[in-house]
Amino acid sequence: MRRLAAEGLGTFALVFAGTGAIVINDVSGGTVTHVGIALTFGLIVLAMIYAVGDVSGAHLNPAVTLGFLAARRFEGRWVAPYVVSQCAGAMLASLALRLLFPMNLTLGATTPSGGALQSFVLEALLTFLLMFVILSVSTGSKEKGILAGVAVGSVIALEALFAGPISGASMNPARSLAPALVSLRLEGLWLYLTAPALGACAGVLACRCVQEPGCCRGTPKEACP
The CA-based diameter of the chain, rounded to the nearest angstrom, is 55
User: Which residue ranges of the chain lie beneath pLDDT 70?
Assistant: 139-146, 212-225
Q: What is the pLDDT of residue 209?
A: 84
Model pTM score:
0.90
Number of domains in the chain: 1
| Rounded CA separation 223/215 (Å) | 8
**Cα→Cα distances 211→76, 87, 133, 137, Å:** 24, 31, 11, 11
Q: What is the pLDDT of residue 140?
A: 61
CATH of residue 215: 1.20.1080.10
Specify which residues 139 forms β-bridges with.
142
Q: Which residues contact 148 (CB under 8 A, 6 or more apart)?
A: 49, 53, 134, 137, 138
Residue 189's domain comprises 2-223
Q: What is the pLDDT of residue 74?
A: 86
Closest of 64, 74, 90, 40 to residue 199, by C-alpha: 64
Segment 156-165, tens digit of pLDDT: 999 999 999 9
Looking at residue 96, its amino acid is A
